[in-house]
Copies of this chain bind each other. A is one copy, B any other.
Amino acid sequence: MHCPYCNYYDTKVTDTRVIADGLTIRRRRECSKCSFRFSTIEESEILDLTVVKRDGRREPYNKDKLANGLKHSLEKRPYTAEQFKSLVQKIERDIQRRRKTELTSHEIGELVMKRLKSFDQIAYIRFASVYRSFQDVSGFTEELRGLIKARGLKASRPRPPINKSAN
């Protein structure tokens, strides 16, 4: 990896730590030429997945689009950056567990809903009303009714930013 300071092509690793539940590697690197030190992060990334949209168009999977959709549903809702990151990681893990090179945006939407439901119920309803409304209105209103009855529409408290074992 190149040096961010002088752009020399060769840098060496001086320290390696596994962090965040083993999902991330943090390295400390040093430039072979100017000795500049810097940190790097290695993380899993979904690179070769094609998303098939409702109209049939296909496009490369894009983490930012997932994150933006989630942020939209979570607008003005209480959550920390760590909690959000963990949510995205869980959804991406669900995607990877499908072992597919193509997924429909609807399939991804279902995975998102599954995780959102236990993360923040208000966001879940917002998201679901977009992704499901035109498919099973009756089932969705049932769901809504159930939530209202059970919890009086209070959102579930976002969990503390602790990554427990796999989920």
Contacts and interface: CB of A to CB of B under 8 A. Distances in A.
Contacts of A96: 4-5, 36, 38
Interface size class of A (residues with CB under 8 A): 35 or more
Contacts of A43: 40-41
A148 to B, nearest CB: 34
A92 interface: yes
Nearest to A23: B2
Nearest to A48: B39
Complex copy number for this chain:
2
Nearest to A41: B45
Contact of A64 (B4, B24, B81): B81
Contacts of A42: 1, 25, 27, 40-42
A97 B26 CA distance: 21
A36 B93 CA distance: 12
A18 interface: yes
Contacts of A22: 1-2, 7, 9
For A46, A96, A99, the residue with the greatest tally of chain B CB atoms inside 10 Å of its CB is A96
Given A2-B166, A4-B97, A41-B42, 15 more contacts: A1-B18, A1-B42, A1-B44, A2-B22, A4-B93, A5-B93, A5-B96, A7-B166, A27-B42, A36-B96, A38-B44, A38-B96, A39-B46, A40-B43, A41-B45
